Amino acid sequence: MRIRTLSALIAVFAFIAIYWFFEIHGLMLLSFGVAFICVYEYSKLAFKTPQTPPTLKWSFQALCGLLVVASVFMDVPTAAIAQAAVYFLAIVLLTVSRKGDLQPAFHYQGAGLMGLLYVGVFPSLAIRLLRLEDGDIWFFGLLAIVFAGDTMAYITGRFLGRRKLLEAVSPKKTIEGSIGGLLGSALAGVVIAQYAPFELTSVLSTPAMVAVAIVSGAFAQIGDLVESMLKRVAEVKDSGHIMPGHGGMLDRLDGVLFAAPVYFSLVHLLLHFSES
């Protein structure tokens, strides 16, 4: 527990220092680095069998990395997603046909296409928040909603948890913990609405921001469960070892990845109504 806490504190202080000295540009570069680590960790989970051709894994990592960058800066990221999918399916076709064994093709295609979305598109939507006006506030809001929910879910589940949520996927998670997590996310929404800069107060009415926080927090919990399922299928405890006591970057940010598309869309909806 001491190692876990120390590791988290170091990560938080490093994050704050980068923002303090380099502002949004530093956050964006850091976010890209984190996204690339998630790509690497997912590829190890999805293509872990010794029979997987190394070229397939490297191609997936390269396409995902390019997709993250393209999805952040392209006005129509759908084109980038489609191209990455076409390229990867073509690479699978060529790789499998050369080996002569077609049986793994379906797994490679499914795992690869899921990965293009999971670690290629989802993180890019979190990074795209930084390109909005007052993007740092929207970005920190996403992190606050997810991590407040995660913390409250842990505390509530530990002291009040009785009924299992999805025992086959994550035996320690409880319904009570899940409800506590939603309350934690809602509380983060209240704080964001109350302490946002003055120019955003017309957008961030408290009920609207709490609604955004609850919905985003619910999908963050789903993301946590999905990553737990992936690890069970891959028969590993953690996605990596980059954060002592926490595991890999995917272990720490699975909720952020799943919440990002929902939060991004809801933020744009709020901004649209504020301008009309």
- 210 and 221 in a single domain? The answer is yes
Domain termination residue (choose one: 131, 164, 190): 131
- 126 and 142 in a single domain? The answer is no
- 124 and 193 in a single domain? The answer is no
Closest-CA residue to 229 (of 14, 30, 45): 45
- 126 and 257 in a single domain? The answer is no
Q: Which alpha helices (H) appear in the chain, and where do they start and end?
A: 2-46, 54-73, 77-99, 105-115, 122-128, 135-160, 175-195, 206-234, 249-275
C-beta atoms surrounding 202 within 10 Å = 9
Residues 6+ apart with CB under 8 A from 269: none
Domain termination residue (choose one: 131, 164, 180): 131
The total number of structural domains in the chain stands at 2
CB 24 within 8 A of CB 136: yes
Domain termination residue (choose one: 131, 160, 182): 131
pTM of the model: 0.92
- 167 and 263 in a single domain? The answer is yes
Paired tokens of 115: 């990965």
- 73 and 148 in a single domain? The answer is no
- 75 and 123 in a single domain? The answer is yes
> Can you tell me the mean pLDDT for 185-201?
85
- 194 and 225 in a single domain? The answer is yes
Residues 6+ apart with CB under 8 A from 97: none
- 214 and 272 in a single domain? The answer is yes
**pLDDT tens for each residue of 127-185:** 999 999 889 999 999 999 999 999 999 999 999 989 999 988 888 899 999 999 999 99
If 0-12 CB within 10 Å is exposed, 13-18 middle and 19+ buried, where does residue 272 land?
exposed
- 126 and 203 in a single domain? The answer is no
- 55 and 93 in a single domain? The answer is yes
Which whole-number Å values give the CA distances from 79 to 86, 90, 260, in the listed order?
11, 17, 20
**pLDDT tens for each residue of 91-130:** 999 988 877 778 888 999 999 999 999 999 999 999 999 9
pLDDT value of position 1: 58
Range of the domain at 63: 1-131
CB 220 within 8 A of CB 153: no
DSSP 8-state class, residue 118: I
- 103 and 191 in a single domain? The answer is no
Q: How many CA atoms lie within 13 A of 160 on its CB side?
A: 12
Name residue 174's beta-bridge partners. Answer: 164
